[in-house]
Amino acid sequence: MAPTHALRNTPAAVVLNALEALTEKKVPARKRQDIHHLDPLLHSPRQNRLLAALSEKEYETLLSHLELVRLPLGRSVYGACDLQKYLYFLTEGIVSRFYVMENGSTAEFAATGNEGVIGLATFLGGNSTPSQSSVVSAGYAYRMRGDRVRGDISLGGRLPHLLLRYAMALTIQAGQTAACNRHHTVRQQLCSLLLASTDRLHSNEVKITQDLIADELGVRRESVTEAMGHMQGLGVIRHSRGRVVVLNRAGLEAAACECYAVMKHEQERVASSCSQGHGH
């Protein structure tokens, strides 16, 4: 794996930097803080499923340690081998976890929406990972220092248990993705990606470029263009520059590989596990 500074000029880095430059306006620090002060009115920590599963007492204890942050499209939450000091509990948007090879090629192995958290290394004790975590759909998150959660383990808090449960779900997702990349077509993978994205965004529209899809799937852009054109020809989706709308979800599910159903089932198991004991 190349060091982080060596990845700055790779094709994947260029795509992500371009997206960030196009979507993120340069806001003075003071104004940016003012925006964050207003956002909690629209973005409650309870919109994250892990935080929503906490008892009222534990939730109130954590509130003063949570800081709302904006996640613009293309932002790198953590680069490869970055020291992970914070846990990011997403309330909106999608963050992709992927590897970048020395030649600049990429492949996603897991994605996180408001069902989960970014920065588990700070909780598990590894402090860093060789993968990157970048925003592929803009949103918000509440961040909290990892040492704050580690201190709760000895106190028997519920959050450490939820984080371990989510870490297991990520392991399953990564394994399923590896099998999917090896055995399923680009068209099948594209359909699964779009289904998972619409689930996490709670919308039939996904704002994403073909370049970014190619980066996530670890394939050539031309392959994505062919797959998108085929699905649009069937009337299943409609795509334009940086935007995909699902017109026929049943048709999209029929064209997807079984990996989508497997990973969706695992997400539902995590949600069910989180809901057990809520409020106690």
pLDDT in tens, the chain (280 residues): 444 444 444 444 444 444 444 334 433 333 344 344 445 667 899 999 999 999 999 999 899 999 999 999 999 999 988 989 999 999 999 999 998 888 888 888 999 999 999 999 888 877 888 999 999 999 999 999 988 887 655 556 789 889 999 999 999 999 999 999 899 999 999 999 999 999 999 999 999 999 999 989 989 999 999 999 999 999 999 999 889 999 999 999 999 999 999 999 888 887 777 666 554 4
Q: Report the predicted TM-score, pTM, of the whole model to 2 decimal places.
A: 0.80
Q: What is the largest CA-CA distance in the chain?
A: 57
Phi, psi of 198 (to 5 degrees): -65, -35
User: In order of start, what are the domains of the chain with their CATH numbers?
Assistant: 4-181 (2.60.120.10), 185-256 (1.10.10.10)
Nearest to 48 by CA among 96, 112, 125: 112
Q: Which residue has the tokens 């992927």?
A: 98
